[in-house]
Amino acid sequence: MKNKEVDIQFVGHSTFILDDKQGTRILIDPWLKNNPACPEDLQEPKDIDYILITHGHFDHIGDLFAAIDINKEAKIVTSLEVSSWLNAKGISNTLPMGIGGSQPLDNDIKVVMVNAVHASGIADDKSESMLYGGVANGYVVEFRNGFSIYFAGDTAIFSDMNLIREIYSPDLAVLPIGDHFTMGPKEASYATKLLGAKHVIPFHYGTFPVLIGTPEEYIELVKDLDVSVYVMNPGDVL
């Protein structure tokens, strides 16, 4: 895997930190202090330049405001709907975008917003019901050295993963396997075939009892594919 310039740290559940070693740190889906999988020493990540949000559910934005308070200059990449909600909360440093679009970040990093099949309701303490958060999305993050990562976010399998392979050719795919709210191992194994990625990190499993999919089951299902699977514990760096 041509990943000598990018550190990928698993924070727990669906939260990751990317460090390009050139001065840019990216936090993805911040669920930290209330995340039972998050180590104590990662609950207040610092020196974050960008925060990427895949959708508005609590286990993806539950500690967004705390992360912003620690990293006041961080820019938030998200959908137009989540951006508008944040703007109404007094957070102006947003970079809204739409599915199919791309935008540059620092150090020749490019982020592309891609499809996900999931919901994006926002639990807001000022509303008795969930607020509309647009549609869920994934991201392809492309680095200066050509290394690219597909973060699927919470999603079911969908046939356009084949287009993600054809257009972006991600080196690494980060795929949910927990079942119930997202793909399970069986569906994720088919997603792996569609994406053609040679390297996979499974995530979004085991945090809650209903997330019954396991890395062991997924690994067994992809054993005949030319793919390396990295099972990361919270705090691990790849």
For residue range 115-140, what is the model confidence (pLDDT) as tens digits? 999 999 999 988 888 999 999 999 99
- Assigned domain for 235 exists: no
- Assigned domain for 2 exists: no
List the domain range (segments joined by +) for residue 81.
7-229
For residue range 138-194, what is the model confidence (pLDDT) as tens digits? 999 999 989 999 999 999 999 999 999 999 999 999 999 999 999 999 999 999 999
- Assigned domain for 238 exists: no
- Assigned domain for 237 exists: no
CA distance 16 to 11: 5
- Assigned domain for 93 exists: yes
Whole-model pTM: value is 0.97
> What CATH number does residue 78 fall under?
3.60.15.10
CA distance 111 to 106: 10
- Assigned domain for 126 exists: yes
- Assigned domain for 234 exists: no
Structurally, the chain folds into a number of domains equal to 1
Alpha-carbon torsion 166, 180, 231, 203, what sign? Answer: positive
